[in-house]
């Protein structure tokens, strides 16, 4: 299964740190944020990768990552998102790269204590619909800033609510999504949200409404290092003490 690593955006929530660089090039302990993301995908068995970023910084990523072989990749391709049009728009750039095959998408500022290899293996065994990685959280204030699934008594996702005032569960949708090839047709039907972007939550809710969304709850720590300066520091401190992308 091929992977798409999304490393674009303006990094506005890490302003000052990102004034002269892309946030995914910032260090997390002993390497850059994007290198942890590449390692996460390689550890999960994904070795053919497309990295999508903004045009002004793509040369920096190429200089850092090269052809990806030193990081365990078989192939590493690059694509440019010309302007900030949302996660779903960035994913749409990967259609030709996917070549009609299932894909896994990862936001490059996500850091996991444990490998999500079990999710990738489960989707490879049945590559239909979508499969999401969730993380449990008891911090209601934090959940109000994330995508949160409403889960019914049978354990199925009923809907995903973005930044809910009253979170419908204690789970957050992390930045790892597995999709069947139809995802690119879905993206073409989306309309921009109020902030002028194509939203990945709309993609996920399409599969939810069709009864074709599944999920796994990721064990251990999960952090979005691009969420805020405090989160960036917290993720770095955790990784320095505990590592990341560990396998059992």
Model confidence pLDDT, tens digit, residues 130-146: 999 999 999 999 999 99
Tell me whether residue 248 is in a domain.
no
Of 14-18, 128-132, 138-142, 215-219, minimum mean pLDDT range? 14-18
Domain enclosing residue 160, as ranges: 2-242
Tell me whether residue 233 is in a domain.
yes
Q: Give percent above pLDDT 70 in the chain.
A: 100
Dihedral over Cα of 186, 44, 110, 162: its sign: positive
The DSSP symbol for 74 reads S
pLDDT band for 126, please (50, 70, 90 cuts).
very high
User: 7, 53 in Cβ contact below 8 A?
Assistant: yes
Question: Within 13 A of 74's CA, how many CA atoms are on the CB side?
Answer: 8
Tell me whether residue 84 is in a domain.
yes
Tell me whether residue 103 is in a domain.
yes
Segment 153-163 shows an average pLDDT of 97
Tell me whether residue 165 is in a domain.
yes
Tokens of 177: 């999504």
pLDDT band for 84, please (50, 70, 90 cuts).
confident
- Counting the structural domains of the chain, the total is 1
Estimate to the nearest angstrom the gap between the alpha carbon of 180 and the chain centroid.
16
Tell me whether residue 247 is in a domain.
no
Of the candidates 120, 41, 125, the residue with the CA atom closest to the CA atom of residue 75: 41
CATH code at position 144 = 3.90.550.10
Tell me whether residue 25 is in a domain.
yes
| Residue 9, helix vs strand vs coil | coil
pLDDT band for 19, please (50, 70, 90 cuts).
confident
pTM above threshold 0.75: yes
């Amino acid at each position: 299964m091929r992977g798409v690593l999304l490393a674009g955006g303006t990094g506005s929530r890490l302003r000052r740190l990102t004034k002269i660089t892309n946030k995914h090039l910032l260090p997390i302990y002993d390497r850059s944020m994007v290198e942890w993301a590449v390692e996460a995908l390689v550890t999960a068995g994904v070795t053919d990768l497309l990295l999508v970023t903004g045009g002004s910084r793509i040369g920096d990523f190429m200089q850092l990552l090269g052809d990806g072989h030193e990081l365990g990749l078989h192939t590493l391709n690059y694509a440019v998102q010309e302007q900030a049009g949302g996660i779903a728009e960035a994913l749409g750039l990967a259609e030709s790269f996917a070549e009609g095959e299932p894909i896994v998408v990862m936001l490059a500022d996500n850091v996991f204590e444990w490998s999500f290899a079990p999710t990738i293996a489960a989707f490879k065994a049945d590559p239909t619909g979508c499969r999401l990685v969730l993380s449990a959280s008891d911090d209601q204030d934090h959940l109000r800033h994330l995508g949160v699934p409403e889960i019914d008594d049978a354990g199925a996702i009923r809907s995903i609510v973005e930044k809910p005032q009253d979170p419908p569960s204690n789970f957050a949708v992390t930045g790892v999504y597995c999709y069947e090839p139809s995802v690119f047709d879905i993206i073409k039907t989306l309309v921009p949200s109020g902030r002028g972007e194509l939203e990945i939550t709309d993609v996920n809710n399409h599969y939810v409404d069709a009864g074709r969304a599944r999920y796994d709850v990721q064990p251990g720590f999960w952090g979005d290092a691009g969420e805020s300066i405090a989160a960036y520091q917290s993720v770095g401190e955790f990784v320095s003490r505990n590592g990341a992308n560990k396998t059992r």
